[in-house]
Amino acid sequence: MSGNVGAFTLRGTSERARRGSLELAHGTVETPSFMPVGTVATVKGLTPRDLREIGSQIVLSNTYHLWLRPGGDTIAAAGGLHRFMAWDRPILTDSGGFQVFSLESQRRLDDDGVTFRSHIDGSTHRFTPENVVAFQERLGVDIAMMLDVCTKLPAPPGAIEDAVRRTTDWARRGTDAWTRGATALFGIVQGGLDERLRERSARELVPLELPGYAIGGLSVGETREEMARFTRFTAELLPAHKPRYLMGVGTVRDLIVAVDAGIDLLDCVYPTRSGRHGRALLHDGREINIRNATYTRDTAPLDPACSCDVCLTYERAYLSHLFRAGELLGMRLLSYHNVFVLNDVMAQARAAIERDAWPEFRQEIQARTA
């Protein structure tokens, strides 16, 4: 690894909540931090300027989808993913491991890797731990995720054990293939809802001394209570001096639970997907459907507690009108607002941890979201 790329500094704690800084090739990410998802090199409906305005420090994109289109050659010819999508801050790319779960009917899994049948044109594509790391390094991203096996829940113990075994083997192979350049490589702990397998997965991955570790295999069918329990359980298995990333959660309530468990990075499509469907996230943890008739003449801002440009400019009645009229602007404005809310909650969380007031902040949020 070049210089301090991937170095994590733990600046303070308040109970289990952590305040840190993660140094990456394209900037420093202050944690805890939420990462909006730009699956195919775009956070749907939002420009890079939008993302900077609303405080996004890092975005997530996806190896599987970029592999299929536009492909590594096109992105490399453009000068890498940052230049291709005109985003000058850090980027994390998922490995395609989630598609092992989400595209189960279109892939064939074996010990060497996974073969996908493209959901676009039916063509076949072979992913291995080695070529997935190489692809992400070629894109020039700041954080690359290891190829792993994510299983849906509930799942039989044998399937989860196989997933842990393959994830460990692939992590070792991926680590050997990693060039240790400007791209930091993270491992992913699997194990479903089995404490023994979670312990085994962490015990096998931590000695690889990777720059960071993710908690995978949650938010894939378990209850909210199970997710909270296993997030906390798994976080405690990971090194305190490395960043911890919980994959795939994105509501105000879930972010608070994750930070309370000691998580540093989070991501989800939820805020932009909700925005496209007329659902607005509020700072108090509630969500409203702006399409509802009650908002057609509501002259209040979308979220009275919000300082984003949408809430300072538009009334609920206008936003409701946009959705009822089928105007694309409505989707864009709600997506902008929703990502702002999660970024702002994380900024407030960082401030609370710095002044050792996390318990009071957590209780205030949870009282509103109960």
Whether residue 112 lies in the annotated active site = no
Whether residue 267 lies in the annotated active site = yes
Query: What is the distance between the alpha carbons of residues 358 and 352, in angstroms, rounded to a whole number?
Result: 5
CA terminus-to-terminus distance, the chain? 44
Q: Name the region of 41 (left: φ>0; alpha: ψ -120 to 50; beta: rest).
A: left
Which residue is catalytic, options 94, 148, 254, 260? Answer: 94
Q: Which two tokens stand for residue 23?
A: 């140094």
The helix (H) or strand (E) run that includes residue 63 is helix 63-68
List for the chain the helix, strand, coil content (%; round to 5): 45, 20, 35
CB-count exposure of residue 55 (10 Å: 0-12, 13-18, 19+): middle
> How many other C-beta atoms are found inside a 10 Å radius of the C-beta of residue 54?
22
Q: Which two tokens stand for residue 322?
A: 């946009």
* C-alpha of 20 from chain center: 17
The amino acid occupying position 327 is E
Instruction: Give the torsion sign (CA, 5, 63, 98, 36).
Output: positive
DSSP string, 298-364: --SBS-TT--SHHHHH-BHHHHHHHHHTT-HHHHHHHHHHHHHHHHHHHHHHHHHHHTT-HHHHHHH
Which residue is catalytic, options 194, 254, 260, 267? Answer: 267
By annotation, the residues acting in catalysis are: 94, 267
